[in-house]
Structure 1
Amino acid sequence: MQSEIILNQFYTEEQSMVRDTARRLSDSLLAPAAAAIDRDNTFPREIYLSLAEQGLFGVALPEEAGGVGMDAMTACIVMEELARGSGAVGNAFAIPVEAALFLYHHGTAEHHKLIPGVLDGSVIPATAVTEPDCGSDVAAIKTTARREGDEFIITGTKAWVTFGQVADVIMVFAKTDAEAGHRGISCILVETDRPGVIKGKSEELLGMHGLAECVVSFDSVRVPVGNLIGPENGAFHMAMENFNFSRLMMSSMALGMAQAAMEDAIAYAHDRKQFGKPIYDFQAIQFMVADMSRDIAAARLLIHHAARLYDARQPIALEAAQAKLFTTDMAQVHISNALQIHGGNGYSRAFRVERLFRDVRLSQIYEGTNQIQRMIIARQVEKMYT
């Protein structure tokens, strides 16, 4: 079984230990619960708290901030292992990891007081950028935050807010200067128990169930000016920097699901017999598995290369986009091929590959669609060669 295989990677001893912890959790807790999370579409709070208890939410956060003191590379390793067991739980893991880093890098000393709660799971964070009429074009958001004395008054609607229904705090991106385009966006922390915060119901999604996603509306919500995270009108670039890290996380999530699909395809192809022998003996199946193995290995290298650059404080707009584009596209293709290897059984919810097929589709859409990734890559390459 894959859980007993140690992949030949250049991991430090500490990274290997954290990976093994994540793998054990994935095999013993996440994988057995994944089908129920998908079926019931209920936020897996107990599993979420189990990840927190293992210190995984602080894996990329410095020790002085209350984290484990490791790095983005380790966060990507953990994400791959968790997503192997459940793509939805892997997705859930990314939210507090990114929120803690965002608060640490951009928040005030007062904001930093939230970090321990984020790390132990007692404070559930969310981020609200996308709007019903605004996705890829962040500069076009319409939610406003009007300054009145020592308060901001926030009005607008945010869509696809992961954890929206269960969040205690939401980092809301809003226009504080409506005429300034992307130079007029600020990030403001909103406690969800404030009057005027309205949580809508979840959409019926194709996959990635259990993430308590919903529309969140802000009806003249008043918050103190001290809830501003980072400089006023300076949040656009903060968001773009955060996207680079989040793209590595989402790439690692897709990688973990592709790894799971390959493992299932190999096991099934050895058990399934046609024409008197296991279907793995047919070259058509072997070639599909060979292509899976090749592309999964290539994706892992792309992700880890970008993560090492990030940890070295190098710019990674190009590398993060390349990793996200390649990994999520290849995962979609090869999970589909793994389903094909399962034949008719792959179309049944009795087999994990059916859920993987639905869950992975989102990875090509969020954190910047893959069409946006191509635009980023083209622009970065143009800068290099012109």
Structure 2
Amino acid sequence: MGYIISDDAKDLLGDIKNFCDKEVREQAKEYDRTGEWAEDMYNKARELGYTALEVPEEYGGIGLSRIDIAALLEEMAKADAGFAVTMSATSLAMKPVLIAGSQEQKKKLCELVLDGKMGAFALTEPDAGSDASAGRATAVKDGDSYILNGRKCFITNAPAADFFCITAMTDKSAGVKGISMFFVEKGTPGLSTGKDEDKMGIRGSHTCDVVLEDCRIPAENLLGKEGQGFKIAMQTLDQARTWVGCMAVGVAQRAMEEAIAYAKERIQFGKPIIKNQVIQFKIADMAIKIETARQMVANTLNKMDAGIPYGLDSAIAKCYASDMLVEVTSEAVQIFGGYGYSREYPVEKLYRDAKIFQIFEGTNEIQRIVIANHVIGK
């Protein structure tokens, strides 16, 4: 099954599959081991425009639908979750500008992305994880500038980012209505990044702190108006959650394919273990869950393209798909048996990669709060 995509997307999907087969799938094993930044791999991907898939056609993009992009991102995630997260993180960083930016800001952003530049979205802080409203970073107006101070953490792509969308308090007394959103470019004095996190999974994606020390930016870098930052961030995450679900489907699809291939070759009691109904049922359950998650993603993306409210759908897609991913990768390890626990086989890495999908872009506990609020009402 899968997504129904345009002819242009089918051609690009073939190109991405070939790229991932040649440049990502095997290389990712080494980057997973060392934790090094895959500079050559990512430079090639940027040159091919894989970070710019979500640039709107009116700003020079190639005009793909969100369903088209989902098929491409799923293929990237099948090759390596860290690679897909890195590619999609620039799209995440674009969203605040596309949601709330002026025409000039949108044009500038899209020119940067089309030129191969990468971005990062900086919301999370040491004391503001699930409670994003508890951020302490500040932005003080000073003439025709803002001066930013604070620390962000767990920021995907930060070490390689050329631009950042950053939340900061412009009015501490106003709670969430005192949070604003800013566009900050790499090289701005007072902006620096910390040490890469030594993560359990998606080790091909790099994550670190972003430090703001008297970081002065032009006042025109404010996105929207003062006090709209929290709303912009939540709108950004509403969209981003669906893409998390999309990547989860890709990783799960890879896990199922690896499990099938292994089960056809592994001989026990005189026959391939795939001949056992218990293994067949495991595979069937994987397929059911993967396709269900894929169609949840597709439904949400269709609503986005149609301009129909999708907040509930996005939370469901993200929550279900990421829970599904952990279940599917766990079952894949089980089918491999003891070999599945060895780094010599691919499912061990897939299992480690899976866990973060239940955490980033809002933990699944937060997703259930969002879902309950939509369903139950106030």
Q: TM-score range by the shorter chain?
A: over 0.9
- Indicate the residue corresponding to 1:273 in structure 2: 267
Preserved CA contact (<8 Å) 2:138 2:150: yes
- Indicate the residue corresponding to 2:336 in structure 1: 342
Are positions 1:332 and 2:303 aligned together? no
Q: CA deviation at 1:307?
A: 0.5
**More displaced 10-residue stretch of structure 1: 322-331 or 216-225:** 216-225
| Aligned with residue 294 of structure 1, among 288, 291, 294 | 288
Preserved CA contact (<8 Å) 1:60 1:74: no
- Indicate the residue corresponding to 2:164 in structure 1: 170
| Aligned with residue 187 of structure 1, among 181, 184, 187 | 181
Q: CA deviation at 1:64?
A: 1.7
| Aligned with residue 81 of structure 2, among 68, 81, 87 | 87
- Indicate the residue corresponding to 1:14 in structure 2: 8
- Indicate the residue corresponding to 1:47 in structure 2: 41
- Indicate the residue corresponding to 2:109 in structure 1: 114
| Aligned with residue 202 of structure 1, among 180, 192, 196 | 196
Alignment of 1:213-232 (within 5 A): 213-232=207-226
- Indicate the residue corresponding to 2:254 in structure 1: 260
Q: Deviation per CA, 1:190-218, whole angstroms, max 9, x where unpaired?
A: 22322222321112211111322111211
Preserved CA contact (<8 Å) 1:61 1:71: no
Preserved CA contact (<8 Å) 1:82 1:256: yes
Preserved CA contact (<8 Å) 1:23 1:82: yes
SS of 2:375 mapped into structure 1 = helix
Q: CA deviation at 1:283?
A: 1.4
Preserved CA contact (<8 Å) 2:3 2:67: no
Query: What is the CA RMSD across the aligned residues, in angstroms?
Result: 1.6
SS of 2:160 mapped into structure 1 = coil
Q: Deviation per CA, 1:221-265, whole angstroms, max 9, x where unpaired?
A: 111111112222111111111112111111111110000000000
- Indicate the residue corresponding to 2:356 in structure 1: 362
- Indicate the residue corresponding to 1:320 in structure 2: 314
Structure 1 unmatched runs, 5+: 1-6
- Indicate the residue corresponding to 1:238 in structure 2: 232
| Aligned with residue 70 of structure 2, among 49, 60, 76 | 76
Distance 1:374 1:360 in 2: 19
Indicate the percent of aligned positions where both proteins have the same amino acid: 37
Q: CA deviation at 1:21?
A: 2.6
Preserved CA contact (<8 Å) 1:161 1:213: yes
Q: Which amino acid aligns with 2:280?
A: Q
Q: Which amino acid aligns with 1:148?
A: D
Q: Deviation per CA, 1:289-340, whole angstroms, max 9, x where unpaired?
A: 0100111111111100011001111111100011001100011011010011
Structure 2 unmatched runs, 5+: none
Distance 2:302 2:323 in 1: 22
- Indicate the residue corresponding to 2:245 in structure 1: 251
Are positions 1:378 and 2:351 aligned together? no
Q: Structure 1 residues 9, 367: CA separation in 2 closer, same or farther (over 3 Å shift)?
A: closer
Q: CA deviation at 1:369?
A: 0.3
Distance 1:101 1:20 in 2: 27
TM-score, normalised via structure 2 length = 0.95
**More displaced 10-residue stretch of structure 1: 49-58 or 281-290:** 49-58
**More displaced 10-residue stretch of structure 1: 158-167 or 20-29:** 20-29
**More displaced 10-residue stretch of structure 1: 294-303 or 182-191:** 182-191
Preserved CA contact (<8 Å) 1:103 1:115: no
- Indicate the residue corresponding to 1:4 in structure 2: none
SS of 1:10 mapped into structure 2 = coil
Q: Structure 1 residues 70, 102: CA separation in 2 closer, same or farther (over 3 Å shift)?
A: farther
- Indicate the residue corresponding to 2:278 in structure 1: 284
Distance 1:16 1:353 in 2: 28
| Aligned with residue 308 of structure 1, among 282, 302, 308 | 302
Preserved CA contact (<8 Å) 2:153 2:210: yes
Q: Which amino acid aligns with 1:201?
A: K
- Indicate the residue corresponding to 1:3 in structure 2: none
Preserved CA contact (<8 Å) 1:143 1:157: yes
Preserved CA contact (<8 Å) 1:106 1:229: yes
Q: Which amino acid aligns with 2:129?
A: G
Q: CA deviation at 1:9?
A: 4.2
Are positions 1:99 and 2:93 aligned together? yes
Distance 1:363 1:287 in 2: 25
